[in-house]
Chains A and B, each alone.
Chain A
C-alpha cells in the first residue's frame, strides 16, 4: 500500500482507493476555495460585450454623478453671450450638444438629467425586486392559501394596462391628499419612482416563487429543518441566497426597463415635472427641434439607448455567469 501511495504522490494519480485521501488530494487544494459568486465573476469576465458595457456604464454613471466636475453650467442656467440669450445653438466648443430654446447648455442638461434617470432606474429596480422577492419567497415557501392570495394579487397587477395605469396614477396625488402623503407630490421624482415600482414587481415575484417551489424540495432544506432551523432562517439563509443569480439578473434588467418607462412617461409630459431635467423630459421638451437642431434630441436619445443597451448586455453577461448550463442565444 505504501508503495502505491508513494506512487500516487509522485505521479499525481488522483484518488487511489485505500490510499490516504489527503496525500492524493493535496495537489489541487492550495488554491482559494471557489465560491459560487467567484465562479460567476470568472465567467462574467469572459463575456466581452458585458465587460465593455460595464466600462461604458460606469463612465456614464461617473459623468452624471459628478456632473459639476464635467460642466461649468447648471442645467437651468441661462447662458448669455454679450448680453444676448444664447438659445438654440448648434454643437460647438464649450457647448458640446448646443443649447436649447431656453438658452441652457445641453451637455450639462444631459449630465444632470442622467442623475435623475439613473436614480429612478436603479431605485425602481431595487425596490420592485426587493418587494417581488418577498412576495415570491413567501408564496413559494408557505404555499397553500397564502400562495393563492399573493399570486392572485400578482395576476391582478399584471392585468392592469401598464401605461394607462401609470398615467392615471401620476395625477393621483394632485387630487387625493392621502396619495400625496404616501407617494409625495404629483410629478415629483419620489412619486414617479413609487408609481413605476408598484407596477414592476410582479415578474420577479413569479420567478422567485417558481424557484423557491423547486428549491424547497431540496434535501438541504429538509436537513436544515431537521437541524432545528426556523422558517425565517430557512428562507433567509437557505432559499434567498440560492436565488441570488436570478435576483441580480432581474434587478439589472429592471434598471433598463425602468429608465425607458421613466423616459416614456416624461416624454408624454406625465413624468417628473418638465423643469427638472431627465432624459425623457429633454426628449419631450426638444422634440420640435429635431430638424433644426437635431443634437438637442439625439443627445438625450442616445444617452437612453446607450445606457439601456449596456444594462441589457450586462444582464446577459450575468445570466450566462450565473447559469452556465443555459446556452446563450
Chain B
C-alpha cells in the first residue's frame, strides 16, 4: 500500500494547485448480519484545487461511501480506517461536532435526489439563509438575504426575488437541484462533492445542471468531485478521472488520457460498453459477469473473474497502483503495459 501513496506523490503537481483533499489507504467496512462488507478497500485519492475530478464506477464500487466517510456521514455501523486530509487536516476519526464546521463551509455535498433534499416546510430562501448563517452566525439577516439572492442568481434561477420566498414544492426538479447547489455554495467551499446530482433528472435538465456545475466551478474555482456511473457525463465535465472498482482505484488520469489511452482492462471495458463507441460495430460489448460481492471479494485483483486479460498472477496478488503511459496516469493492473493501445472494437 505504501507504494501507492509514494507513486501518487511522485507525480508532479499540476499548475492548477495542490491537493486540497488527500485520501490515503481509506478502508470502510460495514458490519452486517451476513458478515463484514468491505465497501472501500484501501483507496487513495487526491482532489486538487480548481479541478473537476470525476469518480466513475459501478454501483457498490465505493464511490459514494468513500466521500460520505470523509465527511463522517456514514452510520455508526461503518468502521473507517486510513487517512483523509483536508488541507493537511486529518478528518478521519473526528467527532461529529468537530466535523460540523468543515461540512458545508469547507467541503459541501449535493445529493442524488433533489426532490427530497430540500425541507418541504421551509421556504427555499430560508433554507439558504440558514446554510449561510450556520457558518456565519454574526451575519445580519439583511446581508444573508442578499447573499441568498446572489446565490440564486449564480445558479441561474429566474426571478430570484419571487423564487426566494417560495416553497420547494413550487420548484421543478431541475430548479430544486439548482437551489441545492446554491445552498451548498453558500459558504464558498473548497471542495464540492456532487454525488450523482443528475441521475434523478431527465436528460435535458441533466445537461443544464452539468453546464451549471461547470459554470459555477469556473467562476468560484471550487474543486468539484463529481461522482457518477455515466462516462458520458464524465467526458463533459471532468478534468481528471478516477475509475473505481470493488472499493479500490482501477485507474487515474486526465480525462483525454483515459478516453484515448486507458491502461486498465476495466476502463477499456466500460468504454467499449458505451453505445456511442459500440455503434461502429453495431453491437454493445458489455463487460462479462457482474460486480463482485463485497462480502467475499475475489482474491488478487478484484476484476480478474471478468477480465479478458487475466492470468494466474491476477488471482494471487493485488496489483499496486503505478504510473504508466501518459503523465499523471496511474493504473492498478499487473499487465497495464500490455493493454492494447487501440480501442477494442475498432
User: What 5 A-B pairs have minimum CB-CB distances, sorted nearest first?
Assistant: A228-B104, A22-B158, A227-B104, A228-B103, A226-B109
Q: With A223-B180, A228-B105 as given contacts, are A29 and B100 in contact (CB-CB < 8 Å)?
A: no
Instruction: Give bound CA distance, A225 to B103, whole Å.
Output: 8
Question: Could you list some 24 contacts between A and B, CB below 8 A?
Answer: A20-B158, A21-B158, A34-B169, A34-B170, A36-B121, A219-B112, A219-B113, A219-B116, A220-B119, A222-B111, A222-B117, A223-B109, A223-B117, A226-B103, A226-B108, A227-B184, A228-B100, A228-B102, A229-B104, A229-B134, A233-B134, A237-B130, A241-B119, A242-B120
Q: Does B346 lie at the interface of the complex (its beta carbon under 8 Å from any beta carbon of A)?
A: no
Instruction: Give bound CA distance, A40 to B170, whole Å.
Output: 16
Q: With A26-B159, A33-B167, A36-B121 as given contacts, are A228 and B135 in contact (CB-CB < 8 Å)?
A: yes
Chain B CB within 10 A, most for which of A29, A35, A226: A226
Q: With A227-B108, A237-B130 as given contacts, are A36 and B101 in contact (CB-CB < 8 Å)?
A: no
> Which B102-133 residues sit within 8 Å CB-CB of chain A?
102-105, 108-113, 116-123, 130-131
Q: Which bracket fits the contact residues of A? A: 20 to 34
Q: Does B166 lie at the interface of the complex (its beta carbon under 8 Å from any beta carbon of A)?
A: yes
Task: Report A-chain residues with C-beta under 8 Å of the C-beta of B121.
Answer: 36, 241-242, 244
Partner pick for B117 among A26, A219, A229, CB 8 A cutoff: A219
How many residues on chain B are close to A (CB under 8 Å)?
40
A136 to nearest B CB, angstroms?
18
B104 to nearest A CB, angstroms?
4
Q: Does B13 lie at the interface of the complex (its beta carbon under 8 Å from any beta carbon of A)?
A: no
Query: Across the A-B interface, how many residue pairs have beta carbons closer than 8 Å?
Result: 88
> Given A223-B118, A228-B100, list of 20 further CB < 8 A pairs?
A21-B158, A33-B123, A33-B165, A33-B166, A34-B167, A36-B120, A219-B117, A220-B116, A220-B117, A222-B73, A223-B109, A226-B104, A226-B184, A227-B108, A227-B131, A228-B104, A228-B105, A229-B100, A230-B100, A242-B120
Instruction: Give bound CA distance, A33 to B73, whole Å.
Output: 33
**Beta-carbon contact of B167 and A226 below 8 Å:** no
Q: Does B40 lie at the interface of the complex (its beta carbon under 8 Å from any beta carbon of A)?
A: no
Q: Does B162 lie at the interface of the complex (its beta carbon under 8 Å from any beta carbon of A)?
A: yes
Task: Report A-chain residues with C-beta under 8 Å of the C-beta of B116.
Answer: 218-220
Instruction: Give bound CA distance, A226 to B122, whole Å.
Output: 18
Instruction: Give bound CA distance, A25 to B171, whole Å.
Output: 11
B92 to nearest A CB, angstroms?
17
**Beta-carbon contact of B204 and A219 below 8 Å:** no
Instruction: Give bound CA distance, A17 to B102, whole Å.
Output: 39
A74 to nearest B CB, angstroms?
47
Q: Does A90 lie at the interface of the complex (its beta carbon under 8 Å from any beta carbon of B)?
A: no
Chain B CB within 10 A, most for which of A29, A33, A227: A227
Q: Does A253 lie at the interface of the complex (its beta carbon under 8 Å from any beta carbon of B)?
A: no
Instruction: Give bound CA distance, A231 to B97, whole Å.
Output: 9
Q: Does A190 lie at the interface of the complex (its beta carbon under 8 Å from any beta carbon of B)?
A: no
The residue on B at minimum CB distance from A17 is B204
Q: Does A274 lie at the interface of the complex (its beta carbon under 8 Å from any beta carbon of B)?
A: no
Task: Report B-chain residues with C-beta under 8 Å of the C-beta of A26.
Answer: 159
Q: Does A224 lie at the interface of the complex (its beta carbon under 8 Å from any beta carbon of B)?
A: yes
**Beta-carbon contact of B167 and A228 below 8 Å:** no
Task: Report A-chain residues with C-beta under 8 Å of the C-beta of B159.
Answer: 22, 25-26, 29
**Beta-carbon contact of A227 and B111 below 8 Å:** no
Instruction: Give bound CA distance, A233 to B137, whole Å.
Output: 13
Instruction: Give bound CA distance, A226 to B134, whole Å.
Output: 12
Contact with B along A238-257 (1 / 0, CB 8 A): 10011010000000000000
Task: Report B-chain residues with C-beta under 8 Å of the C-beta of A224.
Answer: 119
